[in-house]
Structure 1
Amino acid sequence: MKKILFFGDSNTYGFDPAGPIGGRYPEAQRWTNILMRSLGPEWTLEADGLNGRMIPDSPYMQGMLWDSVLRHEPDVLVIMLGSNDILSSRAEEPEDILTEISGKIESLMQYLAIQKKRAGLDFQIMLCVPPKMHTGVMRFDRTSGELPAVYRESAHRFAAHFIDASSWQVELTGDGVHFSEQGHKAFAVRMAQELKNHTL
């Protein structure tokens, strides 16, 4: 049996922007639960999603990720973060935002490589680019569309599997950031394909 840990932000949490503050889609409508049902009994899935989460780039935040790994003991760790890093950036140019994110990703992947070696663990890491945002703010949307090159390079350098969900045409809600109900379904289908084709 394979255990997969998804570490992400509000879209992994299942946030519903049309619901009350902090509200979530019903469990059956979240992509993580749809995915779990489609994978079958030979897989187990843990979803560690948090609204507003950014790429861990401090010892405390990186430690939270590692604590989650030790708690769940996955065979596969899928990291899907970056949207909030774009939205919170004060940089005016997409190139500068991408430089910020590249530094965070490199720091995180290096941290995980060190921790895996120290702990003697051998889980697979999959680095996933979030679906492309459509916020109406040009520098944010352009940066979102250019994330694949940054993530692909880091994944290659640290022998992780690269997933480009920005190309999946996932339907978003009116805020251009969060998955719609149909988006959750579509994302689950594509992620299932990735896992079945590229996991150990």
Structure 2
Amino acid sequence: MKVICCGDSNTYGYDPRSYIGGRYSVESRWVDLLREKTGWQIENQGENGRMIPRFPLTVPEDTGLLVVMLGTNDLLQYGSPVQAAERMEKFLAGIALARQRLLLIAPPPLQLGEWVPSGLLVEASQELAARYRSVAARLGARFADAGEWKVALSYDGVHFTAQGHRTFAQGLYDQLEKEKLLCWKQE
């Protein structure tokens, strides 16, 4: 099955120990770990610093699943889960793909750290999952809350550790199995 993962630096696989935008190895990034576990053709469209786009994403017609995990950078810039959820709903509503082929993932909540100096940001990130769950329900899309997976974050309070990537990959795999998506075949 062809899968597209649209996200920010945690989808890209950014290694916070690298000051020049380096990535974790292929053996550590959640997208690559998921590819290995499923055998799916997975395209990583993660970009460092990506916020929720203002315009819809164009996806090929043969896309079996679009995984979207964005919103962390929106919170870091503006701090409002309400605004992030509104932008996410507009973004997803404009994507020409059957809704059951959309999986919206609420990112793990932020933690106090070098990039997260305020408890208000942590609280805002904790609120995002409930808002995204409502967005997914209104649109008829699938939803997962990565906050339930206990993903380890680095010293900055934002980025996954190498272990965090492995935990995230397993949490997503379990979610896909629970929703019976692992048996989907490319049409």
TM-score, normalising length from structure 1?
0.83
Contact residue 8 and residue 53 of structure 1 kept, 8 A: yes
Percentage of identical aligned residues: 38
Counterpart amino acid of 1:55? I
Equivalent residue, structure 2, for 1:23: 22
- 2:52 is aligned, of 52, 55, 62, to 55
User: Does 1:82 find its partner at 2:71?
Assistant: yes
1:152 shift after superposition = 0.7
1:122 shift after superposition = 7.1
Give the gaps of 5 or more residues in structure 1: 92-96
Give the gaps of 5 or more residues in structure 2: none
1:123 shift after superposition = 6.4
SS at match of 2:178: helix
Contact residue 100 and residue 142 of structure 2 kept, 8 A: no
User: Does 1:129 find its partner at 2:126?
Assistant: no
Equivalent residue, structure 1, for 2:156: 175
TM-superposition CA deviations, 1:87-146 (whole Å, max 9, x none) = 011x5xxxxx1221122012112212xx34xxxx67600110001110241111101111
CA–CA separation in structure 2 for the residues paired with 1:123 and 1:157: 12
Contact residue 75 and residue 123 of structure 1 kept, 8 A: no
Aligned length: 177
SS at match of 1:153: helix
Higher helix share goes to which structure?
A: 1
CA–CA separation in structure 1 for the residues paired with 2:32 and 2:82: 34
Runs of 4+, deviation exceeding 6 Å: none
What does residue range 24-173 of structure 1 map to in structure 2 within 5 Å?
A: 24-39=23-38, 41=39, 43-57=40-54, 59=55, 62=56, 65-66=57-58, 69-70=59-60, 73-89=62-78, 97-112=80-95, 115-116=96-97, 124-134=101-111, 135-173=116-154
